[in-house]
């Protein structure tokens, strides 16, 4: 995966596969077929099979806890400038699926958990935040 941050904006004139566009986060990949195999091996479900878009190929995978994630591969260089700020990138999973999500995503991303802390949030006495570093 690319360690840089990108933002994709498309104006489709044709229907796109449901539920594309409802994912919370996405990653630029270098080899869609290999990354799809890696995602499945790591426990993700492919919910939108790879399809062509105006500048490449997209797919959407779902991790334990219901986290949908876009994967995209550019076959044509995008035409937008670099981001000025780093986008906030959070995913929310239930306490019941947090360990499954973190374990599967860390395996997929070849990353590591750099922090795993409990936080008190409104109405929740045992919320947890894990911060994962890595790339796939």
pLDDT at 77 over 60: yes
* Full-model pTM: 0.68
pLDDT at 50 over 80: yes
**Residue of 20, 82, 5, 97 whose CA lies nearest to 52:** 20
pLDDT tens column, 87-113? 666 777 777 888 888 888 888 888 877
Confidence of residue 78 (pLDDT cuts 50, 70, 90): confident
């Amino acid at each position: 995966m690319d360690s840089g941050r990108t933002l994709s904006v498309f104006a489709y004139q044709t229907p796109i596969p449901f539920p594309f566009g409802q994912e919370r986060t996405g990653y630029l990949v270098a080899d869609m077929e290999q990354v799809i195999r890696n995602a499945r091996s790591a426990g993700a479900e492919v919910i939108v099979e790879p399809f062509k878009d105006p500048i490449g190929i997209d797919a959407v995978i779902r991790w334990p806890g219901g986290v949908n994630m876009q994967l995209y591969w550019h076959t044509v260089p995008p035409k937008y400038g670099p981001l000025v700020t780093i986008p906030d990138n959070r995913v929310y999973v239930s306490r019941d699926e947090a360990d499954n999500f973190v374990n599967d995503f860390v395996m997929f991303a070849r990353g590591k958990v750099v922090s795993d802390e409990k936080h008190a949030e409104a109405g929740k006495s045992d919320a947890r935040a894990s911060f994962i570093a890595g790339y796939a």
